[in-house]
Amino acid sequence: MKTILITGCSSGFGLEIARYFLARDWNVVATMRTPRADVLPSSDRLHVLALDVTNPESSRQSIEAAGPIDVLVNNAGFGAASPAELVPLETVRDIFETNTFGTIAMTQAVIPQFRQRKAGVIVNVTSSVTLRALPLIAAYSASKVAVNAFTESMALELAPFGVRARLVLPGRSPETRFGDNARAHMHGFDHEAYAELVQKVVAGLTDTSTPVTHSQDVAEAVWRAATDPSSPVRIPAGADAEAWAAEVG
């Protein structure tokens, strides 16, 4: 029986990924800042751990506590909405600490066991905004583009050891807390210079006629990344993400 460790499992994509793998008889190590086993089905194959990905020691301890694993999914992350001119550098640093450095720290913590065992899969969940630029999320997009580049280079390094690295790129989803988190870190939306742009972007985000990504789309993409050695390094998840990926080739 295989074991998967997933970061950011308290809600959204991470929660659905954990449920998906539990339903397919995997051992699941679900990590959260504040552990809550009640959000997941009761199972003797479920282990819930506390993890703060912005703390390298917490990352190391979670990998150690989990024991041998077969797949690591770096899903934890958050965004902020702001014109690039006005986003505080402190917020930019917080975004990179979680989305970029947190992913790198978890990855570095797990590579030794994968490399020595000559097996293992690292799946980094980024975003389809790395395929197509959108306004007001420059810092978030930059943090995810950095993870893409890190993962693609790492995939070349680890292939000789039989270790795979994959990217899952979700589109816009109404089923996550990304919007709430981004609104909590909004800056400059009341600036008159950006009023027209903000209005246009908000209208687009509330448009229910356009394709979106559902949590199960992401879980299915992670399953493919974890179980299919022939899968590409970049796997779009969701109808909107797939359409964008097709546009850029």
- Does residue 173 carry a pLDDT above 70? yes
Indicate whether 190 pLDDT > 80.
Answer: no
pLDDT score for 158: 98
Of residues 168, 235, 182, 233, the one with CA closest to residue 6: 168
Catalytic-role residue among 140, 150, 194, 223? 140
Residue 160 · residue 114 · CB < 8 Å: no
pLDDT of residue 178: 52
Instruction: Tell whether the model's pLDDT for residue 182 goes beyond 70.
Output: no
- Those residues whose C-beta lies under 8 Å from the C-beta of residue 170, and which sit 6 or more positions away, are 13, 125, 127, 128, 213, 217, 218, 221, 236, 237, 238, 241
Query: The pTM is what?
Result: 0.93
Examine the pLDDT at 35 and tell me if it is beyond 60: yes
Contact 50, 31 (CB under 8 A): yes
Q: Quick one: average pLDDT of 108-125? A: 98
List residues bridging with 125 in a β-sheet.
168
| pLDDT score for 201 | 83
Q: What is the mean pLDDT of residues 52-56?
A: 95
Low-confidence winner among 37-51, 124-138, 192-206 (lowest mean pLDDT): 192-206
Domain CATH number, residue 176: 3.40.50.720
* Model confidence band, residue 187 (pLDDT cutoffs 50, 70, 90): low
Residue 188, pLDDT > 80, answer no
Q: Identify whether the C-beta of residue 68 lies closer than 8 Å to the C-beta of residue 113.
A: yes
Please tell me which residue, 209 or 10, carries the higher pLDDT value.
Answer: 10
The whole-number pLDDT of residue 156 equals 98
Q: How confident is the model at residue 208 (pLDDT cuts 50, 70, 90)?
A: confident
**What's the CA gap between 223 and 217, in Å, rounded?**
10
Q: Which domain holds residue 57?
A: 3-248
Q: Is 140 a catalytic residue?
A: yes
pLDDT value of residue 239: 96
pLDDT at 209: 73
Q: What mean pLDDT do residues 153-162 have?
A: 98
d(CA 138, CA 240): 19
| Mean pLDDT, rounded, for 64-72 | 97
Average pLDDT, the chain: 92
Average pLDDT over residues 169-175: 88
Query: How many folded domains does the chain comprise?
Result: 1
